[in-house]
Amino acid sequence: MKILLVEDEEGLIITLTDRLRSENFDVKTAADGEAGLSLALTESFDLIILDVMLPKKNGLDVCRDLRQKGISTPVLMLTARGETIDKVLGLKLGADDYLTKPFEVIELLARIEALLRRSPNTNYNSTEGFRFGDVSVDFKRAEVVKNNQMVELSAMEFKLLHFLIENRGAVHSRNKLLDEVWGYDAMPSTRTVDVHVAWLRQKLETNPRHPHFIQTVHGFGYKFKDE
Instruction: Compute the least distance from the CB of residue 80 to Ca ion, in Å.
Output: 8
Count CA within 13 A, CB hemisphere, residue 65: 16
Q: Which of 8, 34, 61, 180 binds Ca ion (CB under 5 A)?
A: 8
Q: Tell me which stretch binds Ca ion (CB under 5 A): 5-13, 88-96, 165-173, 199-207.
A: 5-13
x/- site string to Ca ion, residues 16 to 55, per CB under 5 A?
-----------------------------------x-x--
Query: Between 53 and 108, whose beta carbon lies closer to Ca ion?
Result: 53
What distance in Å separates the CA atoms of residue 93 and residue 64, rounded to the nearest whole number?
5
- Range 49-108, binding Ca ion (CB under 5 A): 51, 53
Instruction: Compute the least distance from the CB of residue 61 to Ca ion, in Å.
Output: 14
Residues that bind Ca ion (CB under 5 A): 8, 51, 53
